[in-house]
Amino acid sequence: EPEVTQTPSHQVTQMGQEVILRCVPISNHLYFYWYRQILGQKVEFLVSFYNNEISEKSEIFDDQFSVERPDGSNFTLKIRSTKLEDSAMYFCASDSEGYNEQFFGPGTRLTVL
Amino acid sequence: GIQVEQSPPDLILQEGANSTLRCNFSDSVNNLQWFHQNPWGQLINLFYIPSGTKQNGRLSATTVATERYSLLYISSSQTTDSGVYFCAVERDNYGQNFVFGPGTRLSVLP
């Protein structure tokens, strides 16, 4: 069964460093998403991406964040200069048409020291 | 924006017991999903259920979209059912992103 994959599973970085989180969505899906979950809190939407551009973003998704689909399979989230409060689990998701079932990856746990 | 509430916030059960988890939402939706977050933090997709009833083994779910709620039923609970259960909704005609509820933390004791 096709699934969304994410790498790395855990990333530790120093405050101020750049990180790139990687996702491979399900191959025939067209809509891609990033969500994050700070430890002990609920899951929050960051950004959605369709047709090679951002379709929607939340207030959390400020200038420090960017997304890219560098090739036909990968979908990345970059944080330019990490802060302590960026420590969270980051989930990638995809769906085939928008307004359909979203499939989530296993997450990347980001720890900023 | 849309408000999503889940109840109860915490639930402790003995193994073998049944339970009902509730999700209320404040506006019309065109997508609703239930997830189980396991101890490793992974979100396991349980049901895609914008309306109607579905069953998968010991779990079933019902969404009554017109009354803005969904229920998740767990029967004959097992210790492996422990974790946090989230419902997430996509607001009708308002983009494709999910708004998650705060979750119900379920502990099943042996």
pLDDT one-digit tens code per residue, B32-75: 999 999 888 999 999 999 999 999 999 999 999 999 999 999 99
Across the interface, of B41, B48, B97, the residue whose CB is closest to A56 is B97
In Å, how far from its chain's centre is CA A45? 9
Contact between A97 and A30 (Cβ < 8 Å): yes
For residue A7, give how far its alpha carbon lies from the nearest alpha carbon of chain B (Å). 14
For residue A15, give how far its alpha carbon lies from the nearest alpha carbon of chain B (Å). 23
Across the interface, of A56, A95, A106, the residue whose CB is closest to B42 is A106
- Tens-digit pLDDT profile for residues A31-71: 999 999 999 898 999 999 998 999 999 999 999 999 999 88
Contact between B64 and B70 (Cβ < 8 Å): yes
Q: Is A107 on the interface with B (CB under 8 A)?
A: yes
